[in-house]
Structure 1
Amino acid sequence: MYQQEPPSQRTTIKRIPQRGNYERDTIYEILDEGLICYVGFVVDGQPFVIPTAYGRVDDTLYIHGSPASRMLRSLQQGIDICVTVTLLDGLVLARSAFHHSMNYRSVVVFGTATLVQDAEQKLVALRAFTEHVIPGRWQEVRSPSRSELAGTLVLSLPLVEASAKVRTGGPNDDAADYDLLVWAGEIPLQLTATTPIADSRLLSQIEPTYVSHYKRRRD
C-alpha cells in the first residue's frame, strides 16, 4: 500500500484504496507512456468526454487543437474538468467469471485549464506534444509557421490534483475455486508498432531509428 496522502478530497481513491498511488513519479510515468487522454467536462448541463492527444512538461499537462473546437472554447472559460489516462497491461483470467479482471495503470486529474497566450510557452507545449508521441521528431521537422501557431489553441492544466491507480498480479479467486480444473493467470498486453509504411513521395529512404524501433513502454 502506498502511504502518500492524496492532494485533495476528490482525488482520494475510495474503491480498493490500496491500489491508489499519489507519488509524482508514478503519475508522470503513466502520463508519459500514454498517447490519448479523455477530457470530461459539462456545458449547459450536458456532459462530454472527448479523447485527445496531450503532452507534459514538468508538472503541467497541455492539450491543443483548433480554435473552432467546442471543447477548447469551453475549457478556456475556466470550467471544472477531469482528465483520465489508462494503460491496459493485461487480462486477468480467474477460475470464476466473477473474479476476472484487468491489470492497468491509470491517472485521473482534476482542475481548470488556462489558455496559453505566451508565444514561447506555446512553442514549448507544441514541442512537448510532438516529442511525447515521437521522441526525437521535433528537431527534424519544420517548425510551426506563424499562421499555424495562430490557428492552434493550447491549454495548460496543472498536475496538482492528480492520482494514479494500479492493478498488478494474477487473479484473486475464492479458496474453493482453486480446486477447479480451469486455466487461470494473466495474458500480458502492450502497445506494439508494426512495420512502418513510407510515404509515396518520400525523398530519402533513410529510416530514422525512432521510426524503425518505435515503442511506448519505458524501460
Structure 2
Amino acid sequence: MSQSPSRLQPTVRTQLKRLPKRGRYETEQIYQILDEALVCHVGFAVEGQPYVIPTAFGRIGDRLYLHGSPASRLLRSLQAGIEVCVTVTLLDGLVLARSAFHHSMNYRSVVVFGTATVVEPIAEKVIALKAFTDQVVPGRWDELRSPTEAELNGTLVLSIPLSEASAKVRSGPPIDDPADYALPIWAGEIPLRLTAQSPIADPQLATASVIPDSVQNYQRG
C-alpha cells in the first residue's frame, strides 16, 4: 500500500470556488470525516441518466471500498470504469442568524472523484469486508463467524482511489450583517449529534449470549 500524501493537490473538480476558505485538502481531515460517516452517496450517469445511490462503505489507507450484490445497478455500472462522484456529509449543528438570509449549518463533508476497479483477490476482499463491518461497529468483525465461500463469491467489492478528493467544513456562530448585531433577536447554534440508543436483542438470541463491548459501548463521533 502506497504512502498517502499529507495534502492532496486540488484539481479542477475538487478546487472549491464558492467560499474557498472552507476547503480542506489535508488527507488526515479527509480520512477523519470518511471514517466517522456511516453512509456515502455515489453519483454516476448511465446513457445520460444520472443516479445518486446511498450505500455503506469502508476505507483502508488511501482507498475507498464499496460492496454489494453483483446484480446491483450501481456496482455493475461502476465496474465498467465510468466516472463516479462519492460524497459524505456530517451535520454538526444548525446555525441560527438574525436574518433568514444568513441561516446556515455547521458541517463536514467530503467529495471524491475517480473510477472504480474490482477487487479480485479473496484475501483483499476479506480485508475490505472487515473494513465495511468495522466502519459501522468498530471491533464487530472479530466477534463474527468468517464469511463462507458462497458469501464471498456472491459479494462484489469495488475500490476507488482517494487521490482526487477534498473536504469542506463550516463551524462556529452565524455571520450576520454588521447592522443586525444590535437587533434583539436570539442567534447562535443548535449542536447536533448522532447518538445510539440502548441495544435491542434479537428475539431468537440464545439466552447465554452476552452483549459484547463493541455493542454495549457503541457511540459515534
Shorter chain as denominator, the TM-score bin is over 0.9
SS in 1 for 2:152: helix
CA contact 2:8–2:163 (8 Å) conserved in 1: no
Please state if 1:66 is matched with 2:66.
no
Deviations 1:185-207, CA, capped at 9 Å, x for gaps: 00000100011101112123421
Gaps of 5+ in 2: 1-6
Letter in structure 1 aligned against 2:112: V
Find the counterpart in structure 2 of residue 45 from structure 1. 48
Find the counterpart in structure 2 of residue 187 from structure 1. 190
RMSD: 1.0
Distance 1:161 1:216 in 2: 27
Residues matched between the structures, number: 214
Please state if 1:81 is matched with 2:79.
no
C-alpha deviation, 1:5, in angstroms:
6.4
Find the counterpart in structure 2 of residue 56 from structure 1. 59
Gaps of 5+ in 1: none
CA contact 2:8–2:164 (8 Å) conserved in 1: no
4+ aligned runs moved over 4 Å, structure 1 = none
C-alpha deviation, 1:213, in angstroms:
1.8
C-alpha deviation, 1:216, in angstroms:
1.4
Q: Sequence identity, in percent?
A: 66
Superposed counterparts of 1:82-97, under 5 Å: 82-97=85-100
TM-score under structure 1 normalisation?
A: 0.95
Find the counterpart in structure 2 of residue 134 from structure 1. 137
Letter in structure 1 aligned against 2:14: T
Q: Which has the higher mean CA deviation after the structures are superposed, 6-15 or 138-147?
A: 6-15
TM-score under structure 2 normalisation?
A: 0.95
Find the counterpart in structure 2 of residue 210 from structure 1. 214
C-alpha deviation, 1:54, in angstroms:
0.1
CA contact 2:8–2:165 (8 Å) conserved in 1: no
Please state if 1:17 is matched with 2:33.
no
